[in-house]
Structure 1
Amino acid sequence: MRVAYTDWGDPDGPLVICVGGIANTARRMDYLALDLSRHFHVVCLDWVGRGMSGWMPTQGDYTLETNVESMIQLLDHLDCSRASIIGSSLGGSVAMALAARHPEMVERLVLNDIGFHMPAERRRRRAEAVARHYAFKRPADLYRRLGASAKNEGPVTEDELLHNTYFQTQWSDGHGGRIYRHDPRALQAYAEDAQVSLDQREDWDKLSLPILVLRGMVSDALLPETVEEMITKPDVTAVFVPNTGHTPSLSDANQIHFLREWLLGRGPDAHFTCLNPPSTPRHLFGAAPPPPPPPPPPPAPGA
C-alpha cells in the first residue's frame, strides 16, 4: 500500500508529524510545515484513501487501527523512534491512540479541535457534510465552497482557504471538473462509525506527556465541558481560537507562532489562552489579562 507524505526541513532535526482530518490531505499543512521546518524535520502524512496515498482494498479496511499502523510504519520508514505529533480532528484521534499504546513513540501531542469524546449526533452531522459529493466545474465553484469553509477554518486569508481546497481536489474527466482527492469508501466508513459517540476515554487516561489542545470557539465537535475536563490532567494546555469552528486552519500566523513556541518548549505556563482576541466581549475560560498601563505623559516644554 502506497502511503504518501510531504517532507520539510533538516532530516536530522527533531521530528514533527502532521496529520489531518477525515477529508484532508497533507498539503493542508503546507503553511505550518514551511514555518516549523526552520526548527524541525516536518513530515505531513496523507492518510490511506486520501491525497496521493493508495486506496484500501475494501471499505472495512478504513479503521482507526489502520491509521495507527500507518503512523508506526511511517516512523519505521523514517528510521525515527520518537516524534511530536500535530493531529487535526481524525488525526488527533489517531495520535491519541498511538500515544496511549506506544508512549515511547510520542514526545509532544497537539490535538486540533478534538478530544476524547464527541456526541453521536455531532459526529453524524459532520459525516453528512464530508460524505457529500462535489464536482467543481469552474473556479467560482471552488470559491463558493470557500465560503462554507471559512466559518469553520477561522480568520485566514482567501488565498490560504483556496490553497487548502485546491489541494483537496483533482481533475476528473468523467465529472468534467475537480472532485475531492479521496476514496469515497473512506468517508462512508467514517459515516457508519459516526452513528455512535466518539469515546477515547481509555486512551486519554493512559496519556502522560505534554499536550496542547486547540479549540475553535464556535466548534460543535470539541465541547467546552470536554476541554474543562481535559485540562485537569497535568501538562495539558488549552488554547481557544475565536471566530473559528471545526477545525482551526493552522495556517494563520498567530496559530503557527503559538504552535512553534510550544513545540520548542517556550509556550506559556497557563491552562487557558486565547488567540486573536476579538474586539467585542466574548466568554473565555479564564480571566482576561489586565490592560497595559497608559504611556507616561510627555515631559513639559523646557523641563
Structure 2
Amino acid sequence: MPDQMLVEPIQADPAALTCRTDTHHGHPHTAAMSALRSALDTLGVAADRMAWKDYEKIMRTIEPLIGAGHTLRHFDYTHSAALQPGTVERLRSDYTVRLAYTEWGSPLQPTLLCLGGIANSARRFDYLARALAPDHHVLCMDWAGRGRSGWLVEQSDYSFEGNVAQVLALIRHKRLGRVTLLGSSLGGNVAMRVAAEAPELVDGLILNDIGPFIPTERRRRRAEAVARHYVFRHPAQLFHRTGAAQKNDGPVDDTVLLHNSFHQTRWSEENGGRVYRHDIRALQCYRDGASRDHDQWDDWQRVKCPVLLVHGMMSDALLDTTIARMLDKPRVSVLHVPDVGHTPTLSDPLHIEALRRWLAAPQPWPVESTIGWTAGADRILFR
C-alpha cells in the first residue's frame, strides 16, 4: 500500500493530483460494491422504482461488509445548568442525557477520537475506524441530538460549549490518557477548543477541512440547508437528495453514499418515510448562530500539538487565506485533496493510509502535500 500512495511536496509534478490505484484488496469498498451489484441484479428494479423493502434488502447485504468490527456503546452525560442559557433561572438544573459512541480496536492502543459535523452520524467514520482498528483504539461520538444519542431539553442547550463538554465527558468516562482528536467541520472546531483548553489531554489534531475561521455567508447557506425537516417517502427521493447534497464529495462510490445516508436517517412510521436521525432543534440552534463569522483564532494560537489539516480543494468553508495563516504555526501540515469540497468522507484507501502514516509519525511531515483518489468508484444509484 505505501508504495502506491502519493504524499509529495505541493511543488511536485501536477500529475500527482490524479494519482490513483486499482488494487486495494481487503478494503470494504470492493466487497460492498460487488454485493450491491448482485443485490440490484437479484431485485431487478431501477432506482426510481425501488420500494423501501428493496432498500432494506440492499442495506442488510452491504452494511455488514462495512461496519463489522465496531461496538455501539452509551454513557450518561450530565448537561450542566451553566450550559442552559435559554432556560429561566428557576428551572435550570443539571440533567442527564444518554450519549452514543462506537468503539473499535483495543483500548491498549493509542486512542483516536472522531468528531463529526453539525448533522453527521458517528457511523460516517466507519471506513476510517475499521481500517485503523488493528493499530488504534478508535472512538466515534454522536453529538447530543444526533445519531443514536439522546436529545437535550432546550434548543439553546445545543451550544458550542455544550459540544466541548460532551467530548471532555467521554474522555473522562473512558478514563483515557492523551488522545488524538479528528474533527470534521463542527467537530474540528470543537477539537481546537479542547486542545486549547486541555492541552494535557491532546496529542494531536486532524482537522478535516476546517480552520479557525468560517465566513458568515458560508455558514448561513449551510444552516438554511440543514435546518429543515425532510421526509423521504421513496428511496429515489433519498438518493436524489443525498446525491445533490453530496455533489462535492469527490469520486466516492455508491456504497459510501448509501452507508452514510442510511445511518444519517431512520424510518418514521408517523411520517411514512425516512427522516434525518437528529433533533431538528439542534440544527435550528446552529442556524440562529450563523449570522456572524466563526472566529476561533484565539483558540488556534493556544494549540501546541501537531496538526494535520485535510483540505478539500473545492471547499468553500476552508479558505486559502485561512490555510496560509494556519501554516504560520510550527508543526502544522496540510494535505490537499483534489476534486472534493467540504469535509472529504475519509473513506478512500489512499486518504486513510495518509492519515495512518501521519498518526504513526506526525514529524517530520511535508508542510504541504497532495493526494489523489483510488480508481474505479462506481455510481449506480446516486447519479
Are 1:91 and 2:187 an aligned pair? yes
Alpha-carbon distance between aligned partners in 2 of 1:167 and 1:26, rounded to the nearest angstrom? 8
2:361 matched to which residue of 1?
265
- The alpha carbon displacement at 1:267 in A equals 7.1
Counterpart contact for 1:142–1:162, Cα < 8 Å: no
Q: Is the 8 A contact 1:99 1:106 kept in 2?
A: yes
Unaligned runs of 5+ in 1: 279-303
Aligned position for 1:125: 221
Task: Provide the C-alpha distance between the structure 1 equivalents of 2:365 and 2:185, rounded to a whole number of angstroms.
Answer: 25
1:236-267 CA-partner distances (Å, limit 9, x unpaired):
00011111111111111111111111111167
- Structure-1 residue corresponding to 2:320: 224
Cα distance in 1 for partners of 2:214, 2:362 equals 30
Say what the alpha-carbon RMSD is for the aligned residues.
1.6
**Aligned partners of 2:231 and 2:275 also within 8 Å:** yes
Q: 2:146 aligns with which of 50, 53, 57?
A: 50
Number of residue pairs aligned between Structure 1 and Structure 2: 279
Quickly say closer, same or farther: Cα 1:268–1:136, change in 2 above 3 A.
farther
Residues 143 and 149 in structure 2, CA contact (< 8 A), matched pair in contact too: yes
After TM superposition, which residue ranges in structure 1, 4 or more long, deviate above 3 angstroms?
none
Matched residue, 2:297: 201
Deviation of 1:150 after TM superposition, in Å, equals 3.4
User: Partners in 2 of 1:147 and 1:101 — Cα distance?
Assistant: 38
Structure 1 residue 277 displacement after superposition: 7.2
> Which structure has the highest helix share of the two?
2
Matched, 1:102 2:217: no
185-194 or 147-156, which moves further after superposition? 147-156
- Is 1:185 the equivalent of 2:281? yes
* CA displacement at 1:230 relative to structure 2: 0.5
Shift of 1:146: 3.1
TM-score by length of 2: 0.71
The equivalent position to 2:117 in structure 1, one of 21, 33, 45, is: 21
TM-score scaled by structure 1? 0.89
- For structure 2, the 5+ residue unaligned runs are 1-96, 375-383
Q: For residues 275 and 194 of structure 1, what CA distance do their matches in structure 2 show?
A: 32
Pick the aligned partner of 1:170 from 234, 241, 266.
266
Matched, 1:233 2:329: yes
Higher relative contact order (CA 8 A, sep 6+): 2
